[in-house]
Structure 1
Amino acid sequence: MIRLSLLAAGLTLLVSSVSHAAAPPAVGYSNPVTAGYSADFPDPSMIKGRDGWWYAYSTGGPYAKDGHDGDSYKIARSRDLTHWEKVGSVFNATNRPTWADPNSGFWAPDIRYLDGKYVLYFTVPNTTTTPGDWDYAIGAATAPTPAGPWTDSGAPVVAPRPAAGGGFQWTIDPAEFTDSDGTRYLYWGSYNGGIHAVRLTPDGLRTVGAVTDVARDRFEGPYVVKHDGYYYLFGSSSNCCAGPTTGYAVFAGRSRSPLGPFLDRFGNDLNASRTGGTPVVASNGNRWVGTGHSSVVTDLSGQQWLAYHAVDRTDPFVTNSNGWLLRPMLLDRLDWIDGWPEVNAGAGPSESSKVSPVTTSSATAGNVRAEADVTGSGQGVSARGVTAVLSQGHLKVTNSVGFTRSVPVPLDAPGNIALEVRGNQATAVFSEDRLGDPLATVQLPALGGGTAAPMGGAGNFSVAPLYKPVTRAAPTPRIGSVDGRYSDEFTNGLGAGWTWRNVSPDATVTNGELQWKTEANDLTDNNTAAKASLLLRDQPTGNFVVETKLHLDVGTDTVRNYQQAGLLVYLDDENWMRLDHVAGGTGRFIEFGKRMRFTPVGAPSVVTFGGAMIGPPAETTWLRLAHDVVPQTGEHRYRAASSTDGKHWVWGAAWTLPAGTTPRIGLVSQGSSAQTEAQYGKATAQFEYFRVTR
């Protein structure tokens, strides 16, 4: 995606030889885009087939809301990316991998087009290759078409990997990436083991060399694209499947190497104990929570879109159940703001969009994108006086005055040439599968007008107006002036307005700060929730932001489960939110957790808890919760943010509480355990202030 200057007016583009009848793009669509086809479509992966259809693949599950119909592994297809129809399943009794346990399902597909064939990477959670259960492994199947028939490669691409503490790492969620030098990589991993990368053989079916750890065990569902010279690793974080409190969200880091290190916007490593990650999409207070496990697709205008699954917090389960979760597929625009990917410029998941992906060719003037599938020398596209063709193993681009640039294509394989002309700059890209991993890129000036057309018998040709990049981020919450009626600087004991629920003997105000040792009681534990000490006060009406500056001495890399401290929004012990610096395993993170009682349709009520990750913590971390009222529902909405310097903030997920309730705000310091305290003692939370701004 290139941002370039505008060309002087007056140039005209003519369109000819398009493969589909010219038509204006459909206007508007609603999420989930799989509605009407399947109630469940988790872990989506997508590709544009060489037959002109888009294909999507997902983990198995039910088609029907009541769960009565399903497949072990789903394939769907679409002409417009927003309406999908059933193709069928990947595996059946005749082609099921022999090394998969007969009772095993198949998870998390990744689709590619490599060396003239379709390759589907898949997860087998239980194999016959070891005597153990849950010995996760990754396989690959090939097919001549996106619909199959699929032939398993005969053995795992990544075999089960023993875990240090016994059992097996979660060798799941594969994603392939081919670098511009032709080297193929496979990424995979999850919370038990972290995210890894390894080189693949040219056919993509076997691994080569050492495995590299690229992200902490805070992430799963990796996906890699290359953009403006950087490699971007997308990963999903937090719990995938907690009903209406599912905190799943997508984060990204970038690197100059496909093997990392991957750093977030502020330079934090995704592989560090205080784990980095720049938010790509997270819940925003509307219908959708659990926004994760993403892949990227490009429409005919060049605009990228993020395909991911989500949970409808108002109706998350299969009918008459309170645990069988439905995760349909959503599609939203992926923008690049100051070098970072953000869904809808940071506004988050949509319930509906006024603009649909461009999926049909149309006559256009001005900035343009033309593309076609190519199989041999002399094939390519032309637009605005520029030609881009495959020529004797090179991507050769020539403009209207005969200026030519040529770069080698490292793989002798069928692929796709996309030519974008924005203003007076032309950019041509050769890739195998249009999935964000270009093999060759050429830029040169575009100086004239001309016809857009395929060249040399190239197939699946299209032309469309070039997308207009969104470069301004959606606004973040406004920070007003401090309201002293609801704030406390802790300069002379606890100020007015505070109320204890179970006074903590370990909380004192000393040297202008509240010092509070982490207690063993925890609001998430039904056995100790009522005993937990809470420091609470009334919240103001209307919009406000509550902020605290917190030092928590939990260090890094040691296991201090689950000492934590931070901000609290509290209704009762079954309905609350907590924005904490948390020690979990050897990692440290900021978690925006929510607990609620929920009554599914036709089933008994349940209490669920889930957490959404925000930014990384530091020795001293600043925390914010921004409150407003959702206009459509009257719900209280709280959006979380964190900072490691008090100046640069990471804004993340939002949770809601019901309309008509009276939440209170405050502080907590809890989550310790006897085992942790025996080894390390209690942690001490030091709150420097509690400020409400309006």
Structure 2
Amino acid sequence: MQSRFVAALATLALGVGTALLSDGGGAEPAAAAPPPPPAPAPGTYTNPVTEPFADTYADPAVIRGKDGWWYLYATSDPLVSGGPFGNMHVARSRDLAAWEYVGTIFDEGDLPAWAAEESFFWAPDIRYVGGQYVMYYTVTDTAANPDPWDYTIGVATAPTPTGPWTDSGGPVLDPRPAPGGGYLNTIDPALLSDDDGTQYLYFGGFNGGIWVTELDETGTRAVGEPTRVTANDRYEGAFVVKRDGWYYLMGSSANCCAGPVTGYSVYTGRSRSPLGPFVDHEGVGLDASRVGGTQVVAQNGNRWIGVGHHAVLTDASGQDWMLYHAIDRDDAWLDEPGGVNRRPTLMDRMDWIDGWPVVNAGAGPSEGPQPAPVAASELGLVSVDPASGGGLRRVAGTLARGTDDAGDAGAVARLVPGRRGPAEVRTAPAPRDVRLEADVRLPEDAGSFTATVGGPGRPGVDVRLDADARELVVTQGHRVRRAALPDGADLTTWHVLTVTADDGAVVARLSSSGLGDADAEVRLPVAGLPRRAPVHLAATGAEAQLDNLTVVAAHDPVTERVAEPRAGAVTFAEDFSGELDAGWAWLHGPADVTLGDGSLAWPLTGHDLVGEANDAPALLRDAPEGDYVLETTVTLPLGEDTVRNYQQAGLLVHAGDDDFLRLSPVSIWQTRQVEFGKELTADGRWWGGHLSGPVADTMHLRLFHTTDPATGEHRFRAASSRDGRNWRPGATWTLPADTDPRIGIYAGGGASPAVTAVFDEVLVRELG
């Protein structure tokens, strides 16, 4: 059954005015309008991509419009220092490298009437559903409730990516009271349209965790009971993609907005169901108290910290990219108004290695010029006007140049079958490893559209979108694979069809938005294809229309991670078998520790170094010269689920009571996490941290110290392990070159319930 979105669109005319006709049946060609220039060939870009027009552009969302532009959306912040708060923003780009500002989503005069006057509008999520653009967004305060901060989700639709936007008239789901008072964080929406036609909305963060709910046919109201898919106190900013039968939930962790100590980062887990449970690469659940998550991107010691709240796009070659915001650690705040972080948008390559997404093969956020995404076609095709420019050569039937009068696609190519059979066109010879992408619609809801790679004929592979059979079919000779289309998939509206011939298989995917969703996907292992062969496109039985057509070489995927730092030979060992080594000294101590049986037992107290008290004991020693690795093994039974704020024990790098780093397992409300935190004094006192994990009662912790050869700056890279063999990389914090930090261990953060940290050893190793 068609959704009400689709049914409403079906009442609109799918008018297509023909500007040029080339007809094997004898029709005369009309004069062609001058085609728009093709998008520039891939070049380079430099982060942040929003620098030309914005100081801050946070919580990015992205989509390619049917007009061929890419559109980038952001939360409601001032674009520049001293500027007004905008009610969510939109920018656009032809090549995914150079972006220009377009405007705001809402003006003050057309805000949703059900939102309170004081409400903010955050974290837009953009999709294309049933022939129109659908935007979900956070409303921080509703007019129906006198309580402030009763967060919920709104939705608006538009015929184009820039509006005009029509709000649905009410929230997608009601504000959710929290058990202890106030409201759960019903924020940060993200839509997933699945191949059975169900629409899922992911939302929430931190206070309450991330949840998922099904939506009704209109996409404007939640139905049924939501399902919590992450721990209560860990993640926000969900984005879900479906790949190889897995649903990958990616979410951001830690404080987004702590200025120069922001440790925000992105983690993921996967599931065979959109409802979870989502687990990381070691099988640890994102919803567990000892919370899991496979790291996708974290700060690496360059200028960028606080890297997170992201969206994912796929370029014309099939390479995935992550867009996310970040903070320049040396320029963290807008000059005016005070208290607003500068969070411009960055973009980096996202690789899939051993079945898991990771940015830049694990290298993290980039600085300096980078190879840009592939956004233009090869083979002389004019992507945004495929019937022009000579890139498509007619073989049979009619190739006509039309105009999308009902939507925003602009110039389109029409393949109209003639009296003697299908309409067929071909490209110039394409690479064997090739990727085709096109917006396709079948306006008569009949017939089929076929793309043939490596042919036609054997060993060519046919990919057929069949309106009559309601399926996507991939065929090579007598070998056939097929997938049924969802009942609500209306082929008279635009869908993104991709065909990738690479690595011994042809993969076809039909998608509503082209953003990790799939209405249907088929994979067929194939025999060898010709080294170079034209791509053939055909319409059979009824007209097919094409737009945004690209045919390019399929990307060469990165399959190995960058090398992680290694721990080498031990240069110092404290095994606590007798008296402490003479190099140790107590800070704010000594603590009430006990030495014996090769361990140091340290009962936790409520003392802490964070903040103004500065009364927590620590055991410190001078750091060695040059590069080194600091390591400890600590046992700290923190239990699960209960609130034990903020018990912890681990490694400390101390340049001063208000300038230090610490790495430890820690209890944060109901979760148990590994925190790599930093406090500094710069225009005040600031504390923030990077969160990772998971934790066990016994944890192995490492800090890899290097020195920037250009600046002398100290860099400390964290890693943690539950077994001492399998290490999880963490984030990198820095300390200034003119500091002389000491290194050691600490314990504290909370005396109730009583618990004792037991350190087995402290090691200093060479950097391997």
Hey, what's the Cα distance between the residues in 2 that align with 1:584 and 1:112? 35
Hey, what's the Cα distance between the residues in 2 that align with 1:667 and 1:404? 62
Q: Deviations over 1:162-196 (max 9, x none)?
A: 00000111110010111121111111111111111
1:360 aligned partner: 376
| Pairwise CA RMSD | 1.8
1:45 counterpart (25, 48, 61):
61
2:437 counterpart (371, 376, 381):
371
1:618 aligned to 2:684? no
1:380/1:417 contact within 8 Å kept:
no
Hey, what's the Cα distance between the residues in 2 that align with 1:618 and 1:660? 36
Hey, what's the Cα distance between the residues in 2 that align with 1:582 and 1:99? 41
1:646 counterpart (724, 747, 755):
724
SS in 1 for 2:361: helix
AA in 1 matched with 2:481 = R
SS in 2 for 1:616: coil
2:687 aligned partner: 609
1:24/1:362 contact within 8 Å kept:
no
1:381/1:417 contact within 8 Å kept:
no
Q: Deviations over 1:516-560 (max 9, x none)?
A: 11122111120x21x221110111122211111110122111111
2:63/2:515 contact within 8 Å kept:
yes
1:481 aligned partner: 569
1:95/1:152 contact within 8 Å kept:
no
2:472/2:485 contact within 8 Å kept:
no
1:384 aligned partner: 454
Q: Deviations over 1:550-573 (max 9, x none)?
A: 101221111111111110000001
1:28/1:352 contact within 8 Å kept:
no
The two structures have a TM-score, normalised by structure 1, of 0.92
1:452 aligned to 2:527? no
1:199 aligned partner: 214
Hey, what's the Cα distance between the residues in 2 that align with 1:626 and 1:190? 31
1:20/1:361 contact within 8 Å kept:
no
1:20/1:360 contact within 8 Å kept:
no
Hey, what's the Cα distance between the residues in 2 that align with 1:106 and 1:194? 20
1:563 aligned partner: 647
Q: Deviations over 1:123-174 (max 9, x none)?
A: 0001112221110010100111111111001110021000000011111001
2:677 aligned partner: 593
Matches within 5 A, 1:507-546: 507-526=593-612, 528-529=613-614, 531-546=615-630
1:382/1:419 contact within 8 Å kept:
no
Residue 453 of structure 1, CA deviation: 5.2
Hey, what's the Cα distance between the residues in 2 that align with 1:21 and 1:405? 38
1:690 aligned to 2:762? yes
AA in 2 matched with 1:372 = A
For structure 2, list consecutive stretches of 5 or more residues without a partner in the other structure: 1-34, 380-429, 456-460, 539-543
Residue 280 of structure 1, CA deviation: 0.5
SS in 2 for 1:654: strand
1:283/1:291 contact within 8 Å kept:
yes
Hey, what's the Cα distance between the residues in 1 that align with 2:234 and 2:474? 47
1:77 aligned partner: 92
Hey, what's the Cα distance between the residues in 2 that align with 1:388 and 1:319? 55
AA in 1 matched with 2:749 = G
1:574 aligned partner: 658
Structure 1 residues 384 and 138: alpha-carbon distance in aligned structure 2, compared to 1, 3 A threshold: same
For structure 1, list consecutive stretches of 5 or more residues without a partner in the other structure: 1-18, 599-604
1:157/1:207 contact within 8 Å kept:
yes
Structure 1 residues 423 and 170: alpha-carbon distance in aligned structure 2, compared to 1, 3 A threshold: closer
1:342 aligned to 2:417? no
Hey, what's the Cα distance between the residues in 2 that align with 1:665 and 1:492? 20
1:106 counterpart (110, 114, 121):
121
SS in 1 for 2:371: coil
1:58/1:108 contact within 8 Å kept:
yes
Hey, what's the Cα distance between the residues in 1 that align with 2:376 and 2:84? 33
Hey, what's the Cα distance between the residues in 1 that align with 2:160 and 2:300? 38
1:236 counterpart (242, 248, 252):
252
Residue 491 of structure 1, CA deviation: 1.2
1:412 aligned to 2:489? yes
SS in 2 for 1:482: strand
2:111 aligned partner: 96
AA in 2 matched with 1:31 = N
1:130 aligned to 2:145? yes
Residue 660 of structure 1, CA deviation: 2.9
- Percent of residue pairs bearing the same amino acid type: 48
SS in 1 for 2:378: coil
Structure 1 residues 353 and 229: alpha-carbon distance in aligned structure 2, compared to 1, 3 A threshold: farther
2:474/2:508 contact within 8 Å kept:
no
1:11 aligned partner: none
Hey, what's the Cα distance between the residues in 2 that align with 1:457 and 1:272? 48
Residue 205 of structure 1, CA deviation: 1.3
Q: How many pairs does the alignment contain?
A: 660
2:190/2:238 contact within 8 Å kept:
yes
1:330 aligned to 2:346? yes
The two structures have a TM-score, normalised by structure 2, of 0.83
Residue 23 of structure 1, CA deviation: 6.9
AA in 2 matched with 1:366 = R
Q: Deviations over 1:8-42 (max 9, x none)?
A: xxxxxxxxxxx976677332211001010211110
2:431/2:533 contact within 8 Å kept:
no
